Amino acid sequence: MSTFKEMGLKSEILSAITDLGYETPTPIQKLALPKVLESKQDLIAFAQTGTGKTAAFSLPILNQIDPNEKGIKCIVLSPTRELGLQIAEDIKSYSKNMPSFKAVAVYGGADINQQIKKLERGCDVVVGTPGRTLDLIKRNRLNLEGVQYLVLDEADEMLSMGFAEDLDAILANTPQDKQTLLFSATMPPDMVKLSKKYMTDPAEISAGSKQQANTNVTHQYYKINSRDRYPSLKRAVDIAPDIYGIIFCRTRAETKEVAERLAEDGYNTDALHGDLSQAQRDYVMNRFRNRQLQLLVATDVAARGLDVNELTHVINFKLPDEDAVYVHRSGRTGRAANVGISLSLLTSKEESRLRYLEKKIGRKFEKVLIPNGQEICEKQLFSLIDNIKETEIANSHIDGFLPQIFDMFKDMSKEEVLKKIVSTEFNRFLDYYRDAPDLNKTSDKRERERNKDKNNRRDDGGERRSKRERREHKTAAHMTRYFINQGKKDGFSPKLLMGMINSHMGGISPEIGQIEIMKMFSFFEMESGHTSDLQRAAKQMEFNGREVAIEESSPRPDSSGDQKEKRNRRRGKDNDQRGGNRRGRRRESSGSHGAKRRRRY
């Protein structure tokens, strides 16, 4: 079925979507609409954001529900207020020719009494965030007993935001014979559990694999030095004069710092992070949607629900810890048949992660050189000239000033006038990049020097150390033990800890020792001498929306050599007492064979 009409949609719906400019169904719509229209089977649908998911589940549901029947027929759950409002507005647009149909959005940060009044007046579809939906259920203001359809939109996002318990409680208040539709970009383990618990023999459809990134997006990266991260970001922005994008940072502190530096350097930008009130957040997001801002610097949590189709770039100031988060980041560009670029700024250590990430998302990363000053100036210059050429000259008040303007330029040639106009607009770039270094050469040179230094390490005898000797040397380095306020309950793991430390230590690479992940907190050992660097880095760390705290801790009771020796002595004494007299005597011997046996026991 290649058209909406062939799918059997009602004339009221067809006319509404035609007015909206819908012509051909998107891949996810082609797969989902027939499934929901022709079957009551539960459905798991994999698709990226911006691929037409709302219409994929809304149109077939609207086609089947009876607005004249009392009660709520459908509940749609979304992770954020912004996305919920967008879904509700879309549903209202699709149903504009259905006079008796009503949709209500319920979400936090707004007057709950006003939402209750709307529910009391009656509606067919409720679109809600998990927290506010559960609150209304507990107040007996939202009755889902008659629901025929339950939609979980961006289910993976809801679970990553910690809504698992809320979803459990909400779904427990819905009838068993409903049709459940789950839409997601990825399939994390928690979502597998959720689907098994609340879905019956679900069908699966996919417009791309479960982890695959948007095919309209080109994935690129700069190889950088840690100290050059911000200058490299500036060059990424400057080489794209018409950029309209999001710069993703890992923590609130990092987001604020990057946004402030960009603003100080004259860029039209603002920050979006967890410290903003809802009113401030709405103000920033509206300015960005209306393109009053060219760049938005944001954390992953703060950017959830931001629905903009025309983004040209997503820039990863640093890679996220989770692969699924990268899929969501990159999926914010290249929407609605547009193309986009997802650019990551990676140090040598971070670059090694790409091979694994490529396998997960099914896309290749292209290494591109950091542009030099001449390339940027050329790009900006010709963009300026194009803008001048394309500027429309309307009949305006400027005509009255033209004689005086012509008189002011009468002693100058056309070439001189153009040169001055361009110079007036362009001198800032020329001055900034006149003596700018080549960051690629700097990076390659430093890397070569590091590798050369490693290869030239020799012991006192002038011979290169063996791998085993180097490993023993590292192991012998004194370790300091640290406490961190993240544990198993937070979803913390050794891999995440290593990633956080490597990403925030500013190019320093201390040796990491033993890691212990406890229920509510964790301990780890790190090469001594870096406490101040680590605590400075911790101020920029954030995990699951919570600030990270790291403190020095007491050594493990059995971590010192003396204590190990005491333990070994006790073990030998116990063996003697248990009758292992022959082994005990061998342990006490001083010959080479005795040493070997001592290691065995």
Question: Is residue 246's pLDDT more than 80?
Answer: yes
| The predicted structure's pLDDT at residue 430 | 80
- 269, burial (CB in 10 Å: exposed 0-12, middle 13-18, buried 19+): buried
CATH number corresponding to 467-552: 3.30.70.330
Higher per-residue confidence, 340 vs 50: 340
Check: CATH 3.40.50.300 for 217-372?
yes
Average pLDDT over residues 193-212: 79
* Close Cβ partners of 474 (under 8 Å, ≥ 6 residues apart): 511
Residue 374: pLDDT band (50, 70, 90) is: confident
| The predicted structure's pLDDT at residue 546 | 78
* Lowest mean pLDDT, pick from 83-87, 138-142, 361-365, 597-601: 597-601
Question: Is residue 235's pLDDT more than 90?
Answer: yes
Question: Is residue 577's pLDDT more than 50?
Answer: no
* Close Cβ partners of 51 (under 8 Å, ≥ 6 residues apart): 26, 27, 28, 207, 214, 335
Distance of CA 347 to the CA centre of its chain: 18
**Among 155, 157, 93, 154, which residue's Cα sits nearest to residue 125?**
93
Check: pTM over 0.85? Answer yes or no. no
HSE-CB of 413 using CA atoms within 13 angstroms = 3
| The predicted structure's pLDDT at residue 349 | 85
| The predicted structure's pLDDT at residue 215 | 65
Q: What are the pLDDT digits (tens) for 66-114? A: 888 889 999 999 988 888 888 999 999 999 999 889 999 999 878 999 9
Q: What six digits make up the tokens of 301?
A: 């949590």
* Whole-number Å distance between alpha carbons of 276 and 393: 42
Question: Is residue 475's pLDDT more than 50?
Answer: no
Count of Cβ atoms closer than 10 Å to residue 208 Cβ: 20
* Close Cβ partners of 125 (under 8 Å, ≥ 6 residues apart): 61, 65, 72, 73, 74, 75, 76, 91, 102, 103, 104
* Lowest mean pLDDT, pick from 128-142, 434-448, 554-568, 570-584: 570-584
Higher per-residue confidence, 134 vs 355: 134
Query: What's 160's DSSP letter?
Result: H
Q: Given the structure tokens 């949607």, which residue do they identify?
A: 289
Question: Is residue 205's pLDDT more than 50?
Answer: yes
| The predicted structure's pLDDT at residue 591 | 38
* 420: three-class secondary structure by DSSP: helix
* Whole-number Å distance between alpha carbons of 313 and 339: 9
| The predicted structure's pLDDT at residue 295 | 96
| The predicted structure's pLDDT at residue 267 | 92
Q: What contacts 24+ positions apart, CB below 8 Å, involve 433-441?
A: 433/372, 433/373, 433/374, 433/376, 433/377, 434/373, 435/373, 436/372, 436/373, 438/370, 438/372, 439/224, 439/225, 439/228, 439/231, 439/232, 439/235, 439/370, 439/372, 440/223, 440/369, 440/370, 440/372
pLDDT averaged over every residue in the chain: 81
Query: What's 69's DSSP letter?
Result: S
Higher per-residue confidence, 524 vs 582: 524
Count of Cβ atoms closer than 10 Å to residue 305 Cβ: 20
Residue 447: pLDDT band (50, 70, 90) is: low
* Whole-number Å distance between alpha carbons of 142 and 90: 22
- 270, burial (CB in 10 Å: exposed 0-12, middle 13-18, buried 19+): buried
Residue type, 122: G
| The predicted structure's pLDDT at residue 147 | 95
* 127: three-class secondary structure by DSSP: strand
Helix locations, 477-527, DSSP H: 494-504
Beta strands in 339-445 (DSSP E): 340-346, 365-367
Residue type, 562: D
Residue 435: pLDDT band (50, 70, 90) is: confident
Q: What are the pLDDT digits (tens) for 290-299? A: 999 999 999 8
* Whole-number Å distance between alpha carbons of 551 and 456: 36
**Among 19, 10, 142, 143, which residue's Cα sits nearest to residue 65?**
10
Q: What are the pLDDT digits (tens) for 152-162? A: 998 888 887 78
| The predicted structure's pLDDT at residue 450 | 56
Q: Are 546 and 492 in contact (CB under 8 A)?
A: no
**DSSP strand pairing (74-77 vs 125-128):** parallel
* Lowest mean pLDDT, pick from 133-137, 216-220, 420-424, 467-471: 467-471
* 528: three-class secondary structure by DSSP: coil
| The predicted structure's pLDDT at residue 169 | 92
Percent pLDDT > 70 in the chain is 82
| The predicted structure's pLDDT at residue 509 | 67
Percent pLDDT > 90 in the chain is 34
**Among 217, 158, 147, which residue's Cα sits nearest to residue 190?**
158
Check: CATH 3.40.50.300 for 5-206?
yes
* Whole-number Å distance between alpha carbons of 495 and 227: 24
Q: Given the structure tokens 């950088």, which residue do they identify?
A: 224
Higher per-residue confidence, 318 vs 479: 318
* 448: three-class secondary structure by DSSP: helix
Residue 597: pLDDT band (50, 70, 90) is: very low
Count of Cβ atoms closer than 10 Å to residue 478 Cβ: 9
CA distance between the termini of the chain: 74
Residue 220: pLDDT band (50, 70, 90) is: very high
Average pLDDT over residues 427-450: 71
Residue type, 206: S
| The predicted structure's pLDDT at residue 445 | 53
Beta strands in 352-467 (DSSP E): 365-367
* Lowest mean pLDDT, pick from 5-9, 165-169, 308-312, 460-464: 460-464
| The predicted structure's pLDDT at residue 422 | 79
Higher per-residue confidence, 396 vs 216: 216
Residue type, 444: D
Average pLDDT over residues 339-356: 89
Residue type, 503: S
* Lowest mean pLDDT, pick from 67-81, 390-404, 548-562: 548-562
Q: Where do the structural domains in the chain lie, given as residue ranges? A: 5-206, 217-372, 467-552, 564-600
What value, to the nearest 5°, has the Cα angle with vertex 187 and ends 184 and 188?
Answer: 125
Query: What's 152's DSSP letter?
Result: E
* Whole-number Å distance between alpha carbons of 301 and 237: 23
Higher per-residue confidence, 462 vs 546: 546
* Plot region of 208 (φ>0 → left; ψ -120 to 50 → alpha; else → beta): left
Sign of CA dihedral 369, 374, 380, 383: negative
- Identical topology for domains 5-206 and 217-372: yes
